[in-house]
C-alpha cells in the first residue's frame, strides 16, 4: 500500500520515526513524499497516489484502452485549469475547462491498478479534435481500432458529449466519415 508523508506522520508521529522505519525496512521510500510497505510499486499506483484528481487522457488513454500498441513516452494527465501545475519529465499535463474535465470520466483496472481515465467515446471526440496533432500513422492505427469497436460504442453518449464542444458539428462529421 502507498502512503504520503502526511499519512505516515499520523502513524509514526515524527520525521525521526518515519526515517527509522525506512532504515528498518518496515516501509520503503519510493520517491519524495511517497512511501510503500512493498519495495516495488507499479508506476501507475504512484501517479494515482500523487495526483488523485487527474484523469489519464490522450496517447496514454488510447494505450490503456488497447486502441494502440504505441507506448507513450509520458503519462498524459488531464486536470482542471485551477489545479496546480505538475512539474515532472514523466508527465504531460493537459489543463482543461471545468465543464469538459469530468465529461466521460470513468475507471478501469489496468495491471491491478484502478485508474481514472476517459471512456472510449470521449477519447474518440478528442482524437477527432486533435487529428492534426497526432502523427498520421498513429491516428490511422487508432481509427482502425475504433472501426472494429463500432458496435460497442455508445453513439448517444457521443452525441451528448459533442454538445459541450464548440465545433461539435464538425467533430461529428469527422467521426462519421472516419469511423462509422
Q: What is the pLDDT of residues 117-147, one digit of tens each?
A: 999 999 999 999 998 999 999 999 999 999 9
State whether 73 and 143 are in the same domain.
yes
Considering its fold, how many domains does the chain have in total? 2
Where is 34: in which H helix or E strand? strand 34-36
Where is 50: in which H helix or E strand? helix 43-50
State whether 70 and 11 are in the same domain.
no
State whether 33 and 52 are in the same domain.
no
State whether 148 and 163 are in the same domain.
yes
State whether 33 and 89 are in the same domain.
no
State whether 71 and 149 are in the same domain.
yes
Please check whether residue 128 is in contact with residue 175, taking contact to mean a CB–CB distance below 8 angstroms. Answer: yes
β 34-36/55-56 pair status: unpaired
Q: Collapse the DSSP code of 153 into the 3-class scheme (helix H, G, I; strand E, B; otherwise coil) and give the result.
A: coil
pLDDT at 180 over 90: no
pLDDT at 20 over 90: yes
Q: What is the pLDDT of residue 88?
A: 92
The percentage of the chain sitting over the pLDDT mark of 70, rounded to a whole number, equals 100
| Average pLDDT value for residue range 99-122 | 96
State whether 21 and 60 are in the same domain.
no
State whether 168 and 126 are in the same domain.
yes
State whether 61 and 148 are in the same domain.
yes
Reported pTM? 0.89
Its domain, for residue 6, covers 2-41
Q: Collapse the DSSP code of 114 into the 3-class scheme (helix H, G, I; strand E, B; otherwise coil) and give the result.
A: strand
Please check whether residue 58 is in contact with residue 76, taking contact to mean a CB–CB distance below 8 angstroms. Answer: yes
Amino acid at each position: 500500500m502507498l502512503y504520503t508523508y502526511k499519512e505516515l506522520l499520523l502513524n509514526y508521529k515524527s520525521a525521526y520515526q518515519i526515517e527509522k522505519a525506512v532504515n528498518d525496512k518496515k516501509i520503503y521510500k519510493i520517491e519524495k513524499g511517497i512511501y510503500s510497505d512493498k519495495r516495488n510499486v507499479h508506476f501507475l499506483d504512484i501517479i494515482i497516489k500523487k495526483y488523485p484528481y487527474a484523469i489519464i487522457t490522450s496517447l496514454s488513454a488510447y494505450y490503456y484502452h488497447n486502441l494502440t500498441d504505441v507506448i507513450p513516452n509520458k503519462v498524459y494527465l488531464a486536470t482542471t485549469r485551477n489545479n496546480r501545475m505538475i512539474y515532472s519529465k514523466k508527465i504531460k499535463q493537459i489543463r482543461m475547462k471545468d465543464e469538459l474535465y469530468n465529461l466521460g470520466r470513468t475507471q478501469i483496472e489496468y495491471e491491478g491498478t484502478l485508474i481514472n481515465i476517459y471512456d472510449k467515446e470521449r477519447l474518440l471526440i478528442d482524437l477527432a479534435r486533435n487529428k492534426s496533432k497526432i502523427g498520421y500513422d498513429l491516428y490511422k492505427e487508432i481509427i482502425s481500432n475504433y472501426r472494429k469497436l463500432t458496435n460497442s460504442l455508445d453513439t448517444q453518449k457521443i452525441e451528448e458529449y459533442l454538445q459541450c464542444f464548440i465545433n461539435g458539428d464538425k467533430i461529428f462529421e469527422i467521426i462519421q466519415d472516419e469511423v462509422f
